[in-house]
A and B are shown apart, each in its own frame.
Chain A
């Protein structure tokens, strides 16, 4: 059985967020003679599993990457990160990306690898087929796969598709990593699989969803779940769909019960606004506007701000070269839903949590 057939039988999907079939991607890469970029940037807010894979499973990662990309493999990591240093000391070809949110988006890495800036490119067709950027610069066929995905490729080849399918759910098979942070006593990477209770994943990191604040699943590109929703949610595509979320990039951030969630989310939206690459109008104007709307809600003024925020979130969705605006819009929409009562308190000038502290999220947003 060849590599693509093995991957097809395993049902492996990308662990970077999009959950696209790895077999389909690898087949296209081989058909078009694409070079491979291994994305080990942990670009999502709170992501830490790429670092974990490089630290603990580098030989398997390299084996998986070599199976897919042959000799044309580069390893992307954030400039100055421990992951970058580890990859370099292993003698690998490192693509050093600026430590900004959209710099590790797949088309940003392709642009950077081919001499451009680490900024998203418009995908007129998948870059695995090659193409051009918006200025007409030729882009040769390149495929980007997440570091965990390539480690899983090596595992599928070594242990077989049956072993892989013995974990997780029939339609979401295999082991997977989740980074858990925020209000937990042992933040770090949890080895789990789809179908596990979110409560158990958080507990494995020393968190307690009976006594926490709301939970952000998926970082800036994710959704906010109320504490009660998170406590009963299943970690799977199906289990998170009801909340507009998905396992995605494998990031869980538990908010502290003692902090005002409206104020905490304000810091996330401010951060998002500053992370736009400033290329696409709806993103460069939309994200700061969404952050401003949120602040307006937080100080308890205009009820108009809520409708405006909803409208803007819908409006920016699908209108960037990459999906960053879609992600932030999704987070904003979910935050409006989950924090509806709390925002009503703010509108009356009341907030049970008192003054917010910046400390806990500043740590994760400083990432």
Chain B
């Protein structure tokens, strides 16, 4: 139901470079814990919701243990591991 645009994150290889987390946007309520635990790959937008940065956007790998901690500690249980194909 929507048009694709060059800025469309889902039409790009999400993981050019490093593995990262995905956000269940329905579950996410913007606690911001992920941005604290994954400072290299997650920043918060102007409303406090996470933006997961790809390598092309300047994101760097925060490491497997930090990702696991972020998934475990998200108060909304909104983070999950990227399914790699």
Contacts and interface: CB of A to CB of B under 8 A. Distances in A.
Interface string B37-57: 000000001111101000000
B1 A323 contact: yes
Interface residues of A, number: 48
B24 A319 contact: no
B24 A221 contact: no
Contact of A333 (B5, B45, B47): B5
A70 interface: no
B6 interface: yes
Given A281-B25, A281-B30, 14 more contacts: A17-B2, A43-B1, A134-B78, A222-B3, A244-B5, A248-B1, A279-B25, A280-B25, A285-B47, A286-B47, A319-B25, A326-B10, A327-B1, A333-B5
The SS class assigned to the B binding surface is loop
Contacts of B25: 122, 279-283, 319-321
A280 B5 contact: no
Nearest to A104: B1
A244 B3 contact: yes
Given A120-B26, A280-B26, A319 B3 contact: no
B27 interface: yes
B26 A321 contact: yes
A241 to B, nearest CB: 9
A116 B34 CA distance: 29
A330 interface: yes
18 contacts: A17-B1, A44-B1, A134-B78, A222-B3, A244-B4, A244-B5, A244-B6, A248-B2, A279-B26, A281-B45, A282-B47, A285-B47, A318-B8, A319-B51, A324-B1, A326-B3, A327-B2, A329-B7
